Amino acid sequence: MNQINVRKLAVNVLTAITYKKEYMNEVLARESANIKREEHGYLFRVVNGVVENLMFIDSLLQFQSKIKISKLRENDKNILRLGIYEIIYMDSIPSYASVNEMARLMKKSNHQLVKYTNGIMRNFAENYEQIMLDFDQTHMDDLTRLSVNYSHPKWMVNRWVDFFGIEETEKLLRSNNLEPELSIRTNVLKTSRDDLMHELSNLGFKVRASFYVPEGIIIESMNHLELFKTKWFSKGYFTVQDESSMLVGHILSPAKGEKILDMCAAPGGKVTHLAQLMEDEGEIIARDISYEKLFKIKENTDRLGFKSIKFELKDASLLDEESIGSYDRVLLDAPCSGLGIIRRKPDIKWQRQLADHESLNELQIKMINNASKYVKIGGVLVYSTCTIDELENDEVIKTFLNDHPDFIVDEINQVSVDLINDNYLKIYPHKHHMDGFFACRLKKV
């Protein structure tokens, strides 16, 4: 497939995300199967980049345009967005090439906009520095400036400014737009972290040990796709998992021989970590709402070689009478807005609405109420999310404790005190250089 067709595919992928509201990772996984492996880098970069900088790019386009960008068809907008992204962020592509290729794409999409596209692209390519200076001098209030410059919806910026203040919010927004490092979890039942780091280093990967988790390794450089071609991956010596996600397993702190329930186990990083921490001795029930999700967990479980995990199709929002009082420890990694992982999934910014927090809060409370019933007296319940929103975190725990005097907040002493705030695990990307995360350890008394 030649470059013009890869660009056309990128536009189609962007339209699926921005118009059809499909999830970026799913669309990329599906569409990248149709192109050569060496073309994956371009496709993944431009799609991720445009989605990450969507509002900023649209604002720059509108700043130059005499017609309303919002009135254009979505496919046509995405051709313009792709061109602006290439000119600003991709030094390896000559500006004149971007101008010409976007005009060619527009000729196939909407012949009436070819002259307009050529004019917009050429003007931006030739007068980039002056346009940026003029745009920077555009009068915007502080919240609008943050929203536009860092491409986050204004409602989200407003909410975070209320929580964190303007300076802290700007640091968070900036961090959300940085490329995250890849972290992997050593399967210490098969190898040691030091040995795995040595083997990966010999293959040319630049690696360092995680500061916060004893099994964690940060992959600093080299094509990540090559990592999954190694025999160390196929033999189950490691799995991909962010450091903050690994911390949750340590907070639950399962022991050998116990009976554990993971109520929302997909995609499987935490439940396989629990098996590893238990040395694969005991019984772990991994539940989720679809067979497809359970199948993906089982694939990873089989590759890693764990035998203690069993799979059940269950909806965590529905009470399972048969499970009442059955488990030593329960993990509820609840469905959430995902606002802690924007740097990995920038489309979350455009998928979420302010009203989502309230509906998610209701679902989370329903699920944690169910989870509490499955825990034995003296047992442990860990509630976690990958969001940084207090309504889905602190407020859920507050409501839960008001309704459940048989539970107390248990001290978290399994992880670094640097990550603990009011006895909750609270991780922020701009502070800890990990995915944003929340966890609370509760004990049934």
Statement: residue 224 has pLDDT above 80: no
Task: Place 188 in a pLDDT band, splitting at 50, 70 and 90.
Answer: very high
The most distant pair of C-alpha atoms in the chain lies apart, rounded to whole Å, by 72
> What does the block give as tokens for 11?
């536009």
Cα 149 to Cα 4, 58, 132, 293, 410, distances in angstroms: 29, 11, 11, 36, 41
Give pLDDT, residue 222: 65
Give pLDDT, residue 221: 74
Give pLDDT, residue 144: 96
Whole-number CA gyration radius for the chain: 24
Average model confidence (pLDDT) across the chain: 95
User: How many other CB atoms are found less than 10 A from the CB of residue 155?
Assistant: 13
389: amino acid identity, one letter: D
Mean pLDDT of 336-362: 95
Give pLDDT, residue 215: 98
Tell me the C-alpha distance between 330 and 316, whole Å: 12
User: Using one digit for the tens of pLDDT, what is the confidence trace for 276-287?
Assistant: 999 999 999 999
Percent of residues, the chain, with pLDDT higher than 70:
99
Task: Place 1 in a pLDDT band, splitting at 50, 70 and 90.
Answer: very low
Statement: residue 2 has pLDDT above 50: no
Supply the residues annotated as catalytic: 386
Give pLDDT, residue 23: 94
Statement: residue 367 has pLDDT above 80: yes
Statement: residue 256 has pLDDT above 70: yes
Cα 365 to Cα 90, 290, 327, 371, 424, distances in angstroms: 45, 21, 20, 10, 17
**Domains assigned to the chain:** 3-138 (1.10.940.10), 182-240 (3.30.70.1170), 243-444 (3.40.50.150)
User: Using one digit for the tens of pLDDT, what is the confidence trace for 108-158?
Assistant: 999 999 999 999 999 999 999 999 999 998 889 999 999 999 999 999 999
Statement: residue 74 has pLDDT above 80: yes
Tell me the C-alpha distance between 155 and 28, whole Å: 28
The region of weakest confidence among 91-95, 115-119, 246-250 is 91-95
Tell me the C-alpha distance between 177 and 62, whole Å: 22
Give pLDDT, residue 36: 85
